[in-house]
Amino acid sequence: MMNVRQLLDRKGREVFSVSPAAAVLEAIRMMAERHVGALLVMQGDELTGIVSERDYARKVILKGRSSADTPVRDIMSTPVLTVQPEATVEKCMQLMTDHRVRHLPVVEGRRVVGMVSIGDLVKAVIADQQQQIQQLESYIHS
């Protein structure tokens, strides 16, 4: 089974983040521009939270708050559930299921080195299964 380091090597390590003081509107715009469902909330190099479309829907829209006037720190999720690069895809999927989250920052030491989404993990599982099927078909035909 693939681990997170291998997955990041394939997908890339680019991480999108926002300041805790930024307006929620800025965070939502960045998510839309980057085609992502969550941003890390970073104070310098320190991971302080994560903000997702779900946070926006539940903590801004449903409460009638202003996206332009609400800072990210007021709606971000914290503490942040993280994984290390050595974690397996299977372990990440279990964590996401147990904690009902869709994004996991990848941390090595105290440094953020990437982020994986449930979509990334599903793609990795499908690719692994396709490879196993091809190997079995090759074995059967030989």
CATH number of the domain to which 37 belongs = 3.10.580.10
- Write out residues in the chain with pLDDT < 50, as ranges: none
Phi/psi of residue 90, nearest 5 degrees:
-60, -45
Indicate the burial class of 100 (C-beta count within 10 angstroms; 0-12, 13-18, 19 or more): exposed
Write the pLDDT tens digit of every residue in 93-125: 999 999 999 999 999 988 999 999 999 999 988
Taking the C-alpha atoms of residue 92 and residue 102, their distance in angstroms, rounded to an integer, is: 10
- Region at 86 (left for phi over 0; alpha for psi -120 to 50; beta for the rest): alpha
What is the model's pLDDT at position 65? 94
Structural domain total, the chain: 1
Count Cα neighbours of 8 within 13 Å in the Cβ-side half-sphere. 22
Please tell me the predicted confidence (pLDDT) of residue 77: 96
pTM, two decimals, is 0.87
pLDDT at 135: 81
Instruction: In whole angstroms, give the CA distance from residue 16 to residue 114.
Output: 9
Residue span of the structural domain in which 116 resides: 4-141
pLDDT at 18: 98
